[in-house]
Structure 1
């Protein structure tokens, strides 16, 4: 069976010591996990005007983790605790996602990717978690594992109902987009996964544990099921 060709979004690496111009890239685990799941990964350059042509050559899209999405995409001014943004990446991912959806290609969103998809579909974000949820401190940058409870859907078919996941984010879904449904939450109701027609999104990082934590590998199994 031919491996489906999956494009992976990347970002500008703005903080490398001694680098005077940004590099482009992302963590290697995304490509490794896709390959292990049976797909053929490709990194997609930060060229917004090339997105449509690039997606014509692919079978699916993975929107990866990274810095904060600029809040102008959901009609808000930047919060004082908004993190680093990458507007070239934002502009590119808008076009990649639009092209993938126009072609009916399956899309997987991880961490930032979940947030991006929710916003591009009409939802919004908490720009900073502190004060929005009792679990906010646990989701910030120190305590990075917690339980999620799955609701009926594609992800639920591939995970135990209660699964311990690894997430480290300071933003989260506020208003869920009308085209998406909640697929998993934390104990206190924070959205941890979304699903839609041809779309799977998780707030945690299954690509970082695909080789050591079988319970989280269900995310990639669910994504590959979309191709079937």
Structure 2
């Protein structure tokens, strides 16, 4: 018997990245992802499916997904937003960039609920025509957003009144952050949903009824607080139900 879209956990695609990895007796390049993403999706009531940065990602190849998470990671190639690389900008990863920009396009075409995390928020912004500050410490004068290698900072967020994010987190929240880049000019259709005390844009969302939220922080690293993932899963469940109804309408 076919599912009606409401009696199963929503399927949430999560992007991964290619890294040289060691597992078992092998060392090889692998498509990897921090486990906490999967745990956060599951704790929120969804099933995570890992999407490698290799594939033909179009609307007709991901229309079985109910939602999408763009994970954090390496810097975007600044050529994508018309800039030369800053000395601190990481080595471009064109394969991952191409895959994730294609996934954003597909998600927007399908109306897939979307949660974009750290790099993911930057991908969303650039995909919509925005730009980035390539080295945020030069803008704000501190390294608070990335205090040390492999160490998270704590950022106090002030959410924008009336935003979807304010409805999820309330007027203020504390977040784990680890980023040396940040949003400059906003992409088309994006509005600021939260800022840090120094003015750094810490969250954005698309205007309109769809769920499309980007956060510069790392909510997946607080598995005791899955409110953002729960909001994504709720939106994904509604999307799945709507899609199921559309497919049953006689033509």
Same fold by TM (over 0.5)?
A: yes
Deviations 1:125-146 (A, max 9, x none): 1111121013x41012336112
- The residue that corresponds to 1:154 in the other structure is 164
Q: Give the distance between the partners of 2:233 and 2:32, measured in 1 at CA.
A: 23
Q: Give the distance between the partners of 1:51 and 1:85, measured in 2 at CA.
A: 22
Which stretches in structure 2 are left out of the alignment for 5+ residues?
1-6, 239-251
Q: Give the distance between the partners of 2:99 and 2:229, measured in 1 at CA.
A: 24
Q: Give the distance between the partners of 2:33 and 2:230, measured in 1 at CA.
A: 22
Relative to the length of structure 2, the TM-score reads 0.82
Q: Give the distance between the partners of 2:175 and 2:136, measured in 1 at CA.
A: 18
Q: Give the distance between the partners of 2:172 and 2:110, measured in 1 at CA.
A: 34
1:151 Cα deviation after fit: 0.6
- The residue that corresponds to 1:195 in the other structure is 205
1:219 Cα deviation after fit: 1.6
Name the structure, 1 or 2, with higher relative contact order (CA <8 Å, separation 6+): 2
Larger CA Rg, structure 1 vs 2: 2
2:80/2:126 contact within 8 Å kept: yes
Of 91, 97, 120, the match for 2:127? 120
1:6 Cα deviation after fit: 0.8
- The residue that corresponds to 1:209 in the other structure is 222
1:111 Cα deviation after fit: 0.7
List 4+ stretches of structure 1 deviating above 6 A.
Answer: 17-20
Of 211, 222, 227, the match for 2:231? 222
Computed over aligned residues only, the root mean square deviation of the Cα atoms, in angstroms, reads 2.0
1:10 is the counterpart of 2:10: no
Q: Give the distance between the partners of 2:70 and 2:155, measured in 1 at CA.
A: 23
Relative to the length of structure 1, the TM-score reads 0.90
1:54 Cα deviation after fit: 3.7
- The residue that corresponds to 2:241 in the other structure is none
Question: How many residue pairs get matched?
Answer: 223
Q: Give the distance between the partners of 1:14 and 1:88, measured in 2 at CA.
A: 15
2:67/2:232 contact within 8 Å kept: no
Which stretches in structure 1 are left out of the alignment for 5+ residues?
none
Q: Give the distance between the partners of 2:22 and 2:180, measured in 1 at CA.
A: 22
